[in-house]
Amino acid sequence: MQFNTYTTAGAHISVWLVNNSSPESAALAEVLRAHDVHDPAATVGDVEELRAWAARLRAVFEAGTAEKAELTDALLAVADCRPRLLSHGPGLPFHLHYAPAGTALTARVRALTAAGLAHVIDEGGGTRLRVCARAGCDVAFLDTSRNGRRAFCAVRCANQVNVANHRRRQRSLGH
Query: Does residue 92 lie in a domain region?
Result: yes
In a domain, 60, yes or no: yes
pLDDT digits (tens, 9 = 90+) for 70-122: 999 999 999 999 999 988 889 998 888 899 878 999 999 999 999 999 999 99
Q: What is the mean pLDDT of the chain?
A: 91
Cα–Cα distances in Å, from 95 out to 11, 74, 87, 160, 168? 17, 24, 7, 42, 52
- Give the model's confidence band at 6: pLDDT under 50 very low, under 70 low, under 90 confident, else very high: low
* Spatial CA neighbour of 84 closest among 72, 73, 74, 94: 94
155 within some domain: no
Give the residue with greater pLDDT, 67 vs 168.
67
In a domain, residue 147? The reply is no
* 33 class by beta-carbon count within 10 Å (0-12 exposed, 13-18 middle, 19+ buried): middle
Number of domains the chain contains: 1
CATH at 114? 1.10.3300.10
What distance in Å separates the CA atoms of residue 31 and residue 34, rounded to the nearest whole number? 5
Which structural domain, as residue segments, surrounds residue 70?
A: 5-131
Distance CA 73, CA 160 (A): 36
Give a yes or no: residue 148 inside a domain.
no
pTM of the model: 0.88
